[in-house]
Structure formats: structure tokens, C-alpha cells
Amino acid sequence: MELIRHSDGRWSLARVSELEYLMLSRIQESADPSGCDKALERLYPSPVAPTAQLDHEAALSIEEDWREYTGPEIRDGFSQALEKVALDIASASVEDDEGYEYYGMTLPDAHAESWCSALNQARLVLHHRHELPAEAEEMGVSPVSEEWIVVLQSEIYGMIMEFLIKEVLWDQ
């Protein structure tokens, strides 16, 4: 995979292999926290700090208001980002290079924010659902296990995020 920054307000994911494209195609489903309480709690945490010196009722009242008014807004933002990214991925073109097929897409800078959100949602849910260590090096499992594939998926997402943060979003 090659990540390219263009000077005309666009960026590209180029020479995306079949495996990498498969992993990109999984962003939306990977970011779904359904059925994983830890991932749900992580994506939608309480607005009240655990150290807050508030009586139980006051904390509960803030949390209830948050769930009713703010939570849905945050959820909508997450969903919109995922949908935008899914459309981008579905619109990828296939390039033939010396007998190998690669996927590619050139996207406007305005999509970078949604990509960062979607990739980060997916990374957070993957880590909580599969109880992965923070660093891939901490894993003591076989490189053919499903867990290893999930770590690879998360690493690829992280690599794209690093590119977008440094090359596209930093000065916006």
C-alpha cells in the first residue's frame, strides 16, 4: 500500500493489495461495538470523571442527560464517518500492474477527518473485543492466528491514521 499526499487538496491510497483491501472493507463491521460491553463503554464513556467529588444523584443526573441528548449526537457522527468511508472504499478502482491487481482511490482532504474517525473507532473496538495488547510486540501468539490478523488489521489502520494526521489534518 502506498499513501500519497497530493498538492491539490487530495490524497491517495494506491497499490492496495487484495489483503489490504479486504482489511479496509472490514472497517465498518470492525467498528461496530454491538455485543461487546467493554467496547461500548469505551466508545461512549461517562462524561463524569471517576474521581469526581459528586454525590451519586448529581452524577446520575448528568449521565442521564448525556445519554439522552449528547450520546445520540456522538453516535450519529460516528455513523456518518463510517458510511462515508464505506462509500469511498466501495468506489475504489482496480489497477493492473505487471500481472498483479491492486486497488486504489484518490480522495479529497475533506474525507480525511471521517477516515481518521472510522479507523480509530475500528481500532478501539478491535482492541476491546479481542482484548489485544496495546503494542503488537507484546503478543506471544503465532503469526497465523486470528488474533495476529486482527493486530495486523489494527496496525494498518494506525499507519493510515498516522499518515492522515501528519500529512493532511495537522494544519487544518
Which of 22, 45, 87, 100: binder of other proteins (CB under 8 A)? 45
C-beta separation of 158 from 124 below 8 A = no
Q: Which residue's CB is nearer to other proteins, number 87 or number 166?
A: 166
Shortest spacing between CB 43 and other proteins, in angstroms = 7
169 is an interface residue for other proteins by CB under 8 A: yes
Nearest to 106 by CA among 117, 93, 115: 93
Looking only at the bridges linking them, the beta strands covering 10-16 and 100-108 are antiparallel
Residues 130-149 as x/- pattern, contact with other proteins by CB under 8 A: ----xx--------------
Which of 107, 115, 123, 150: binder of other proteins (CB under 8 A)? 123
Q: Please list, in sequence order, all residues whose beta carbon lies within 8 angstroms of the beta carbon of residue 116, skipping any fewer than 6 positions away.
A: 161, 164, 165, 169
Q: Which one of 4-12, 14-22, 117-125, 139-147 is the stretch in contact with other proteins (CB under 8 A)?
A: 117-125
110 is an interface residue for other proteins by CB under 8 A: no
Cross-strand partners of 11: 5, 107
C-beta separation of 107 from 88 below 8 A = yes
Residues 50-89 as x/- pattern, contact with other proteins by CB under 8 A: xxxxxx-xx--x--------x--xx--x------------
Shortest spacing between CB 100 and other proteins, in angstroms = 30
What amino acid occupies position 105?
Answer: M
Which of 105, 124, 151, 156: binder of other proteins (CB under 8 A)? 124
Nearest to 65 by CA among 83, 46, 82: 46
Q: Please list, in sequence order, all residues whose beta carbon lies within 8 angstroms of the beta carbon of residue 164, skipping any fewer than 6 positions away.
A: 11, 112, 115, 116
The residues binding other proteins (CB under 8 A) are 42-55, 57-58, 61, 70, 73-74, 77, 116-117, 120-121, 123-124, 127, 134-135, 158, 161-162, 165-166, 169-170, 172
